[in-house]
Amino acid sequence: MPARTIILYPDAVLKEVCAPVASIDDGVRALIRDLIDTMHAGPGSVGVAAPQIGALLRVCVVDVSNSKLGKDNNHGLLILVNPEILRQEGAATMREGCMSVPDYTGDVERSEEITLRFLDEKGEARKMESSGFEAVAIQHEVDHLDGLLFLDRITSLKTGLFRRKKYK
């Protein structure tokens, strides 16, 4: 399926809390495919969440394997249905960007290590640990499912928000 249009801040849909997926049916499988295609089409994108394309369901995808920050520490393409972060450890500040906020980046403090529970694309329950850039990307996408943007987590509005020069 083709990439979908990304909803941009300040659209109110980005502040909505998403509903859990009751079962993985053809509609959810189509949504997953759209999310993957949209992520791959986005410049520098390492993840996208359902509300960013207008679907208020707890589904997101993450793949940091092609990013210089994540290429050496990743699980490949992650399809996360009803993700729940069970454990968070450590803290690091990293510059984040978002396709829904294309003109800005910001310094955000996130956990360095997480344990995550989710359903995969087949509906099977999975649990995994993640660290580094992949953990940051997962936290960013799970935030979208909870109606939060990286703007809500910037370390300092005075010194932590930056106008983006360009996508690479």
Strands of 113-119's sheet in order across: 47-49, 59-62, 78-89, 113-119, 125-131
Q: Which pLDDT does position 18 carry in this prediction?
A: 98
Give domain status of residue 1, yes or no.
Answer: no
Which domain range does residue 44 map to? 12-163
Q: Specify the CATH number for the domain of residue 16.
A: 3.90.45.10
Task: State which residues of the chain have pLDDT below 70.
Answer: 1, 166-168
Q: Which pLDDT does position 76 carry in this prediction?
A: 98
Give domain status of residue 155, yes or no.
Answer: yes
Strands 59-62 and 161-163: unpaired
Per DSSP, which regions of the chain are E strands?
47-49, 59-62, 78-89, 92-98, 101-110, 113-119, 125-131, 161-163
Q: Which pLDDT does position 165 carry in this prediction?
A: 78
Give domain status of residue 7, yes or no.
Answer: no
Catalytic status, residue 16: no
Phi, psi of 47 (to 5 degrees): 180, 160
The residue annotated as part of the active site, out of 96, 121, 134, 141, is: 141
Number of domains in the chain: 1
Q: Which pLDDT does position 166 carry in this prediction?
A: 67
Give domain status of residue 114, yes or no.
Answer: yes
Give domain status of residue 102, yes or no.
Answer: yes
- 63 and 76 Cβ atoms separated by less than 8 Å: yes
3-state secondary structure of 49: strand
Give domain status of residue 4, yes or no.
Answer: no
Q: Which pLDDT does position 1 carry in this prediction?
A: 64
Give domain status of residue 5, yes or no.
Answer: no
Give domain status of residue 17, yes or no.
Answer: yes
